Amino acid sequence: MKNIEKQQKLSTILFVVITAIFFIAMFTGCSTTVPVTAKFPITPDRLLVKCPQLEKLEGEVKLSDISKAITMNYTTYYECAVKNDSWIEWYNIQKKIFEEIK
């Protein structure tokens, strides 16, 4: 009978020790913290280029010069408008992603 009692005591002590080790390991694993700081993404360089100045005519000009200047100005304007629209679209998408992460 003494052997059975010793085995029961030993089993109980072993169970308590294993349970304590398990809980200590679980609590120490949860205590580590990692600081996470979200940074807003960097803007692509091609979207940060300023729009060029529109062409101006000075002095005596021909009708063909006026036509070329108008064509160049329209082209310049619409290229800049597309770039600006791309910038706005990129910014809004990145802002939405950034705010979802917080």
75: closest CA among 89, 54, 47? 54
Instruction: Identify the pLDDT of residue 31.
Output: 59
Give the start-end residues of each E strand in the chain: none
Question: Which amino acid is residue 37, in one-letter code?
Answer: T
Instruction: Identify the pLDDT of residue 77.
Output: 94
Instruction: Identify the pLDDT of residue 76.
Output: 94
Tell me the per-residue pLDDT of 72-83, one tens digit each, with 9 for 90 and over. 999 999 999 998
Tell me the per-residue pLDDT of 26-71, one tens digit each, with 9 for 90 and over. 777 655 667 767 777 888 887 788 888 988 988 888 999 999 999 9
